[in-house]
């Protein structure tokens, strides 16, 4: 660093060592997607809906076959 350089409190070394030390000290924090859980619930509901539809179609087909329609 230069002698006359005034530290502004924001400047950081731009090498990979800074990032590695920061991660080591503070740990990597995963950012949780707020919509991930909602999307999983929607997918689960959709799959259940498809399953129910197949069951209804199967029952209707059995009724049609039994009644001769």
Tens digits of per-residue pLDDT, 14-62?
Answer: 678 888 888 888 887 777 787 888 999 999 999 999 999 999 999 999 9
Domain for residue 53, yes or no?
Answer: yes
Q: Is 21 within the bounds of a domain?
A: no
Evaluate whether residue 44 is within a structural domain. Answer: yes
Q: Is residue 12 part of a domain?
A: no
Whether this prediction's pTM lies above 0.85 is answered by: no
In a domain, 9, yes or no: no
Residue 49 placed within a domain: yes
Q: Is residue 54 one of the residues assigned to a domain?
A: yes
Contact 61, 68 (CB under 8 A): no
Q: Which domain holds residue 54?
A: 34-69
How far, in Å, CA of 46 to CA of 36, rounded? 15
**Number of folded domains that form the chain:** 1
69 is a domain residue: yes
Distance CA 8, CA 11 (A): 6
């Amino acid at each position: 660093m230069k002698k006359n350089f005034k530290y502004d409190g924001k400047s950081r070394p731009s090498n990979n060592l800074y990032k590695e030390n920061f991660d080591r000290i503070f740990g990597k924090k995963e950012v949780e997607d707020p919509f991930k859980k909602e999307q999983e619930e929607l997918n689960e509901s959709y799959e259940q809906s498809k399953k129910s539809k197949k069951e209804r179609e199967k029952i209707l087909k059995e009724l049609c076959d039994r009644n001769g329609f």
